[in-house]
Amino acid sequence: MKTEKPAISALLTAVSLAAVVTSAAHAQQFVDQTSTRFPVQAEYTNQCTLVDIDGDGDKDIVWANGQGYSAIGTLLKPRVYINNGAGVFADETDVRMPGVTGCFRGVEAGDVDGDGDWDIILAQDYNRQPLLMINLGTGVFRDETAARLPVITMGSSRAQFGDVDNDGDLDILICNSGANRFATTGRPRLFINNGAGVFADAPTTQFPSTALAEQMDCVFADLDNDLDLDFVIATRATGANATQIWMNNGAGTFAKLAGLVADQTAYSYDCGDIDGDGDLDLVGVNAGASSTELLLRNNGAGTSWTNVSTQISPNPAADDNDSRFIDFDNDGDIDLVIAALGAPDRIYRNDGLGTFTQVTTGVMPAVTDSSLDIKVGDVTGDGKPDMITAQGESGSFQNRIFVNIGPADTIAPSVRLLEQVPSNGAGPFAVRTEVFDGITSDRGYDDKGVFLVYSANGGKQVSVPMKWDGNNLWRGVIPAQPACAHVDYFVRAFDVSNNMGTSPIKSFVAAGSCGVPGDLDGNGVVNGADIAILLNAWGGGGPADIDGDGTVDARDMSILLNNFG
């Protein structure tokens, strides 16, 4: 019996420890459910995108697979995982993208031909042409590269869609370092859509880029709050070849921003409003001193950036590859998650003012793998953002899914900007808006529809779906209106948790012969009755907003008085 007591004690201790470990694992907000939701795989994956390719209302996953780090390896298939609606995925590559192989470093989705479904671009490395895969409407893709893209081979790591010239179609920005993504002779390319999904290489008068070494990432973003898309080109290089910002003049012509904070060894950039001041800030992964993260605060106009990397704590010198912002604690500010190579991914809580502190327990399991990319979005259909990581370069190459069992999202999207339509236009009237929410991706927030709502002369409201325009921008069109119609409009935005955000109401007056400005009661003369109507509407909108700027104010009174009598 004396020999049995220690054995029983040890057994009880082991059972207790196992219970503690099991309890701790179950207590994580993001639970690793890879084994029950993903197919088993062993392929070198560089990036992924979450997108509803088959139009059934849930998010599928397309993986960019490409063998080899410094030399090309075996050509691989881009994998297509189809969601069953509950976040369990099946590999349907051979049905959805038959016969396609390559060395794919980047993948992104956009509707290039305006038919309402998501097409795919695959960025290739080692002097190979990117592929443009056209969705046939059911989530089956056809390679139409030869008919739609310029014949330019590249060493490319990323590609992005965005409407740079505000003509209602999506253009393409693509990294290009030359013979491979580490080369020095290529220049980034901007492909302009002709409206039917056929692209031309932008002339150097429009995008005067030169050779830029070791381009790792590119991202569209409205950095100066003027409702057009600027962009960032991230590089591993330094000096003249360091990361660049290019600013849009509104018509799709770009100028390089001078004086950006110097970075180095950048693998990716992500944008988000870290401090709630209404503009987009930047985080560069591995871009700071000694391979730390570089956090840049936007000073409001997108032309001046302050290094606030000390606001990430700790900020270790580590081999990190990607990042995303995610409001995991549902407190209204965006937190930060970092994808690490050969170490556990890290998550940081925002204090609301842009200072990030790592959370080491209760949120993410400490899984040591080789994450090259991370995406956040609701793939299980419960309205909570999950995390997906792409695994490559080392380790087992098993891509992972972390399911969010934390608090429900109760915070509505924020419609930050809404374009003012000038009065006296003939229409149709294009309107752009910028919407932020609790996650970031290269296609904006996790939306369930953004709608442009308008009414003419106080009549019935009409709701028009807005199209995704690039990153956080959406674009909708109000059709031509009757002469002198007073049009009120606003934006209504939904997230996947069915939270709704709305913008303030704006107004404009359609072109036409409108009689005497200030004759608000339509009796042919501007008199005291019109003054009374205007004063009763003071500070609001509606027909008394004579100049169509969205507010009845002193300018409208001045117009009325100038026509009095």
User: What CA–CA distance (Å, rounded) separates 563 from 565?
Assistant: 6
Phi and psi at residue 110, in whole multiples of 5°? Answer: -170, 150
> What does the pLDDT read at residue 518?
81
Task: Kindly give, in sequence order, each residue whose CB lies less than 8 Å from that of residue 423, ignoring residues fewer than 6 positions away.
Answer: 508, 509, 510, 511, 547, 548
Q: Which two tokens stand for residue 301?
A: 């106009």
Determine the Cα–Cα distance for residues 108 and 91; give it in Å rounded to an integer.
18
- CA 82/CA 101 separation, integer angstroms: 19
pLDDT band at residue 12 under the 50/70/90 scheme: very low
Question: For the residues 148-167, what does the mean pLDDT come to?
Answer: 98
**Both tokens of residue 263?**
């970075």
Mean pLDDT of 249-269: 95
Asked whether the predicted pLDDT for residue 184 surpasses 80, the reply is yes
What letter would DSSP give residue 76? B
The owner of tokens 């189809």 is 82
Q: Given strand 141-143, what is the order of strands in its sheet? A: 104-110, 119-124, 131-135, 141-143
* Among the listed residues 324, 474, 323, the one whose alpha carbon sits nearest the alpha carbon of residue 413: 474
Instruction: Give yes or no for a contact between 345 and 374, defined as CB atoms under 8 angstroms apart.
Output: yes
Q: Check pLDDT > 80 for residue 549.
A: no
Q: What confidence tens digit (pLDDT) does each residue in 521-539 have?
A: 777 788 999 899 889 999 9
**pLDDT-based confidence at 267, cuts 50/70/90?**
very high
Average of per-residue pLDDT across 485-498: 96
pLDDT at 564: 84
When pLDDT is averaged across residues 398-427 and rounded to a whole number, the result is 95
* pLDDT over threshold 80, residue 514: no
pLDDT(363) > 90: yes
As a whole-number percent, the residues of the chain with pLDDT over 70 amount to: 95
Q: Which residue has the higher pLDDT, 6 or 445?
A: 445
Instruction: Report the alpha-carbon distance of residue 158 to residue 109 in Å, rounded.
Output: 12
pLDDT band at 224 (very low <50, low <70, confident <90, very high): very high
| pLDDT mean across residues, the chain | 92
pLDDT reported for residue 559: 81
Confidence of residue 125 (pLDDT cuts 50, 70, 90): very high
Nearest to 119 by CA among 170, 82, 84, 57: 170
Token pair for 412: 């509505």
Q: For residue range 95-124, what is the model confidence (pLDDT) as tens digits? A: 999 999 999 999 999 999 999 999 999 999
CB neighbour list of residue 339: distance below 8 Å, 6 or more residues apart: 285, 320, 321, 322, 323, 345, 371, 372, 373, 374, 389
- For residue 141, what is the DSSP state? E
Res. 263: pLDDT tops 60: yes
Average pLDDT over every residue of 331-338: 98
Higher-confidence residue: 24 or 358?
358
Per-residue pLDDT tens over the stretch 450-487:
999 999 999 999 999 999 999 999 999 999 999 889 99
Is 519 a residue whose pLDDT tops 90?
Answer: no
The model's pTM is 0.89
**Rg from Cα positions in the chain:** 26
pLDDT value for 26: 54
